[in-house]
Copies of this chain bind each other. A is one copy, B any other.
Amino acid sequence: MAKCKKHLLIGSTGFLGSEIAKDLCSRNQVVFGTYHRHHKKGFSLSGSVRMFQLDVRNRQGMERLVARIKPDYIYYLAAQSSVRLSWANPVETININLVGGINLLEIAKKLALRSKIIIFSSGTIYGETHNHKQKVFESDRLEPKDPYSISKAALDSFARIYAKNFKLNICVVRPCNIVGRNQSKTFSIANFAYQIKNISLGKQKPIIDVGNLSASRDYIDVRDAIQAISEVSGKGKPGEAYNIGRGKPVKIGHALKEIIELSKIEKIKVRKNEAFTSKDEILRMALASGKMKQLSGWEPRIPLRQTLNDMLR
């Protein structure tokens, strides 16, 4: 990636946004970020990321910002990202994930942007299809099973038809379950790590509350994910969607067992908590990422065990 390119991260204060920002800063890129309500203190990386408040449902505000910055790269990361919360508030999920994304696409069309635009979809959009195939390919059927995944499937379709019809340089990424340090404890593995740390500090009894342990997930380390996103921003073809995953599903219960083992704390009990489960979950998720490998040689490099170990530190 050439030096001194301008990157705009729309929705930059989440897990992935923060990590992408750090990575871009470390490579001397010029980074702009937006936040909605919660601007994490200390996030501005000693002033390297210029932060703006933005509600993605406000198209005019977004247009002013894009027109002012003239970014070379735009990443649409703004999302209500919890499947569980999407059942509680589907309309808000549609407004942030889909309508906010359409606002960006409409701005790109109106201003005839030449920026590379990366739209963040999700491996969950294949939904029920995961249950019928060893691995799902980008060309497989989308059969989303929850409001979050429907919002992402719709945005994914919008991004591809806008790329095609208006000759915009848009790529879609469909990540599997990304795990790593600094992740919000609304996600299962991060939640396990958080509880284990509390147990080791004596803040919590040696009992871990868990949701459904029998489902399988396709986990990759956030550093591998960031590498993949960087490859797509450099080489991705307009209008194409790229799976980002390992394709080797791991049972949530297996990951829990492994992280407990790595913690070296003895006698941790596991307790099922219904509040941690979601409706009609995907039972088994595995993304074929041959298209990414073909694009750039990308493959995940960090084993899950190493990620889990890092998350305990």
> Which residues of chain A have a CB within 8 Å of any CB of chain B?
59, 87, 90-91, 94-95, 98-99, 102-103, 106, 141-147, 150-151, 153-154, 157-158, 161, 164-165, 279-280
Question: What's the dominant secondary structure at chain A's contact region?
Answer: helix
Chain B residue with the shortest CB-CB distance to A149: B157
Point out the residues of chain B lying under 8 angstroms from A91, CB to CB.
Answer: 59, 99, 102-103, 106
Question: A144 CA to B142 CA in the complex, in Å?
Answer: 11
Point out the residues of chain B lying under 8 angstroms from A158, CB to CB.
Answer: 90, 147, 150
Q: How many copies make up the complex? A: 2
Question: A145 CA to B162 CA in the complex, in Å?
Answer: 10
Question: A165 CA to B141 CA in the complex, in Å?
Answer: 21
Point out the residues of chain B lying under 8 angstroms from A103, CB to CB.
Answer: 91
Question: A150 CA to B95 CA in the complex, in Å?
Answer: 15
Evaluate whether A153 and B157 lie within 8 angstroms (CB atoms) in the complex, with A99-B91, A102-B90, A142-B142 already known. yes
Among A141, A161, A279, the one with the most B-chain Cβ atoms within 10 Å of its Cβ is A161
- Given A90-B106, A161-B280, A165-B280, 7 other A-B residues pairs in contact with their CB atoms under 8 A: A94-B94, A102-B147, A142-B142, A144-B161, A147-B161, A150-B161, A154-B154
